[in-house]
Structure 1
């Protein structure tokens, strides 16, 4: 949102300010500009449960001195503060990114708080938009309120021929399966590892499994995944910049085995790079994946192994098919089109 949507809103004539958290700014503090977007950095508590709510609270009350016209909240967990914004006469646009209480990392109390926050956010926001059709349908039916659909956008892929970054991990072009996501339970990386281990030895010898991701808070789940690290199962950590471009440019197949999502940007990016994409059959993925034949039953590792075997033994066919479809994905999820949708919603406020 910061690197793609916000600058485009500036180019559309809006004065945009974004609040960012100190630990994620590369050491920058205070205020500065990025592509015309004003950034305000504030400290935050590094805590799995409290970081987002407390930061949102601090940012909201810090912002009151600037007399902003519109507040653009992201994620239902921030919704608990929308009534305060409305109390001060602010117009609010809320964008949801998934049914967050379903995430496996939350306990009973956290789930209850997120559900309450969801209710408050949708009830008091002037306009609500969601990234997936599942959310649109769910919130529309539950809250009897008009919910707009605003999908994630993608930029033009930067396909590269260089392989120097992936070679640092002993990875060869077209000889690996790619997972690119956070290492949290709902992303389903454990299903992929299990399915990969069920492949025939000749395929495992030819294709490695590359897990490009990490997690902010190291927990038992993270260490259970890392215990599988080997010569054939490679963990790169978070992939950004040139490493990410090379991974997406040279993978044999991309896999998204999530059990719940908002709208997986990684799937859109992989399809834009012309990669065959195997995904779980949850609605958030099935709504966007181009080749429906590569959907597998969520959580079913035998089915996932079968799909991996199908693509890896017919790689040229599935690569060619994905290449033919990538322009369709790029055009459908173009950031300029998404920006127009958001701009129209802002004007409704």
Structure 2
């Protein structure tokens, strides 16, 4: 039995919860997930608290017994639970905080997390570590010897669907996502005859006044079916975050032949899918997107990669092989 601890679980957003959900679907071993939310418990999922707080951590610790196989998602969770974890247990890092240089919304929070991550991986971590991005692997190589296991996508082959002059942003409205730059790119695409939708729930970081002034641009929350419709019909996904791990949205968009427009966060230019990304920054995004209008991608190679390497079933098989090595 694997006891999986994560800070989100579908339908809530979060790559950690999606990996846990896919393990329940494809994994070889029996597993029980302990997560955050206000849903009703099921046979395989336990909701310990409505949010990630001390109450969750206390209950999580109470559920770990000597000899349990623990799989912990996120550095924060690993720091809170590491005293209850052994060398045969696993931590999956979906993104690093302090080890990644960035401007933070909160200077104190950034410095605190930076010190905590450094101390944890340098001196305290004794469990196995997996990472979802090449950047995280390189940054942690000096502290631990992490296994690189990317995120995946449910994919059995491309289907025929019509592509329109459309583009979409999918994600929350937050400084990390650089909503101002999302707006600049959207405005440029609209000027080229594209319809653009900015997904996500509006909040204090949203730019509704600007968006309302742009003909051809819409915005608002999309449920899963609406997201899929936009990805099926769009040529581009707009996702120029300031920092990320390996966002699942990128793989979901490629599943629909929707090309992501991104910054090179987490060194994704080094992976075999990179030819299907448009890497931009604020100085060259118009030029890069203009060139992308003329590119005819060979999607046969992409189809092979998504089927053979990035399919969720294959990804979970890789986790199971790692688990067996440490039995």
Q: The TM-score by the shorter chain falls in which range?
A: 0.7 to 0.9
SS at match of 1:339: helix
Q: 1:190 to 1:287 in 2, by over 3 A?
A: farther
Residue number in structure 2 paired with 1:108: 107
Q: CA deviation at 1:139?
A: 0.7
SS at match of 2:257: coil
Q: 1:335 to 1:261 in 2, by over 3 A?
A: same
What are the equivalent positions in structure 2 for 1:159-174 lying under 5 Å apart?
Answer: 174=164
Residue number in structure 1 paired with 2:57: 57
SS at match of 1:337: helix
With normalisation by structure 1, the TM-score equals 0.75
| Alignment: residue pair count | 300
Aligned partners of 1:71 and 1:307: how far apart in 2?
44
Alpha-carbon contact 1:71-1:90 (below 8 Å) kept: no
Task: Please state if 1:97 is matched with 2:94.
Answer: yes
- Runs of 4+ deviating beyond 4 Å: 102-106, 157-163
Residue number in structure 1 paired with 2:208: 226
Q: CA deviation at 1:124?
A: 2.4
With normalisation by structure 2, the TM-score equals 0.80
Q: Which runs of 5+ in 1 are unaligned?
A: 46-51, 164-172
Q: CA deviation at 1:85?
A: 1.1
SS at match of 1:178: strand
Aligned mate of 1:19, from 25, 34, 51: 34
Alpha-carbon contact 1:160-1:246 (below 8 Å) kept: no
Residues 89-132 of structure 1 show CA distances to partners (whole Å, capped at 9, x for unaligned) of 68531111112235655523322332344245533241011111
Aligned partners of 1:158 and 1:229: how far apart in 2?
36
Aligned partners of 1:241 and 1:277: how far apart in 2?
18
Q: CA deviation at 1:4?
A: 1.6
Q: CA deviation at 1:60?
A: 1.7
Residue number in structure 1 paired with 2:303: 327
Aligned mate of 2:46, from 33, 37, 40: 40
SS at match of 2:63: helix
SS at match of 1:278: strand
Residue number in structure 2 paired with 1:189: 179
What are the equivalent positions in structure 2 for 1:331-342 lying under 5 Å apart?
Answer: 331-342=308-319
Q: CA deviation at 1:17?
A: 0.8
Q: CA deviation at 1:308?
A: 2.7
Aligned partners of 2:309 and 2:141: how far apart in 1?
24
Aligned partners of 2:219 and 2:277: how far apart in 1?
28
SS at match of 2:21: coil
Residue number in structure 2 paired with 1:150: 149
Q: CA deviation at 1:341?
A: 1.8
Q: Which runs of 5+ in 2 are unaligned?
A: 1-18
Q: 1:236 to 1:178 in 2, by over 3 A?
A: same
What are the equivalent positions in structure 2 for 1:1-349 lying under 5 Å apart?
Answer: 1-9=19-27, 12=28, 14-23=29-38, 28-29=39-40, 31-33=41-43, 38-45=44-51, 52-54=52-54, 56-64=56-64, 69-86=68-85, 91-101=88-98, 102=100, 106-119=105-118, 121-122=120-121, 123-141=124-142, 143=143, 145-156=144-155, 174-198=164-188, 201=191, 203=192, 206-214=193-201, 218-219=203-204, 222-223=205-206, 225-230=207-212, 231-237=215-221, 239-288=222-271, 289-291=273-275, 294-296=278-280, 298=281, 300=282, 302-312=283-293, 314=294, 317-318=295-296, 321=297, 323-330=299-306, 331-347=308-324, 348-349=326-327
Residue number in structure 2 paired with 1:169: none
Q: CA deviation at 1:146?
A: 1.2
Aligned partners of 1:323 and 1:290: how far apart in 2?
13
Aligned partners of 1:130 and 1:344: how far apart in 2?
15
SS at match of 1:4: helix
